[in-house]
Amino acid sequence: MKPVEWILDTASPRLDAVVRARLDWSHKRTRDAIRTGKVTVNGARETDIGAAVPARAKLRLDMAAPDPRRTEPMGVRLVFRDPSILVIDKPAGLLSTPAPGREEDPTALAAAQLLVKGPARPKVVHRLDMETSGLMVFARNVPTTRALRAMMDAHEVRRIYRAVVHGRPEQPEGMISSMLVRDAGGGRRGSRPGTFKLRPLRTPDPGPMPGSGKLAITRYEVKGGNDARSALEVRLRTGRTHQIRIHLAELGCPLVGEHVYAMPDGAGHRQALHAAVLAFKHPMTGEALHFESAWPEDLADVTPCPRAWTTTRSR
């Protein structure tokens, strides 16, 4: 069957009704086509049979389109795969790896296992918070795992996060450092009192301060915005739990959607944080790899969002 395209004259409360009326299909055939990713609305795949469709929307039915349940397990998008590494784009709301008490929950690791063939299982190299979307790399064998972890420890993997925060930092760029502890008060993680420091962006990495906690270093640059909200690019020198969220909140500019390290802002969605860039030399071949993930659709209404963030590049 050749692809079918049409423009809807009037709005409809249900996508399945629109498709069924156009093609004179049964309920089952229509719903199967939608749920397996055969229908797009204004160029975006829609798998919700009950999705509302606006007037003048352009619809397309392509029965040859891949089933996202097989090609994008758990919403995870395959970015790059070879015998040594696997790069994926993780959606928000998905754990990176199993967590205590949540061993049965879906994870990015489980999705990665579905995206490879053969007995070798993907190995974890780094993690993203459940509410953080974006790029992750997995190793596919033991030598690659060791090499990638060594590269992480040596800061040879470039990771850039994009974020939208409340307010505008007093300094348009800077390096934040502190000693992070599990309980900085109120049972929450945070910087040990007296250790939070803001320095110029290109200041050499400081060493740890005497006392409890783990050294955390975060560099940021303001890329746009206004007095109400700012768009930041953030680079991690260390990878502590909730590091970006904590440092930006303590800077006085918490993430839009933050609800642990700042008072809930009523934004109605998850934290506006996305792992956008991942760049490193292939641990086996030495080839320079660069991957970029566009600002996610579930944060499309969070402004300001620089136009450059909406582009996607890979190798």
Active-site positions? 129
- The two most distant CA atoms of the chain are separated, in Å, by 73
Number of separate helices (H) and strands (E) present in the chain: 6, 16
Helix (H, G, I), strand (E, B) or coil at 16: helix
Tokens of 151: 């590269």
Handedness of CA 174, 270, 274, 116 (dihedral sign): positive
Helix or strand (DSSP H, E) at 147? helix 142-153
E strands, the chain, in order: 4-7, 39-41, 44-45, 58-61, 77-81, 85-90, 123-124, 133-139, 158-166, 173-181, 190-191, 197-199, 214-225, 229-236, 273-281, 288-292
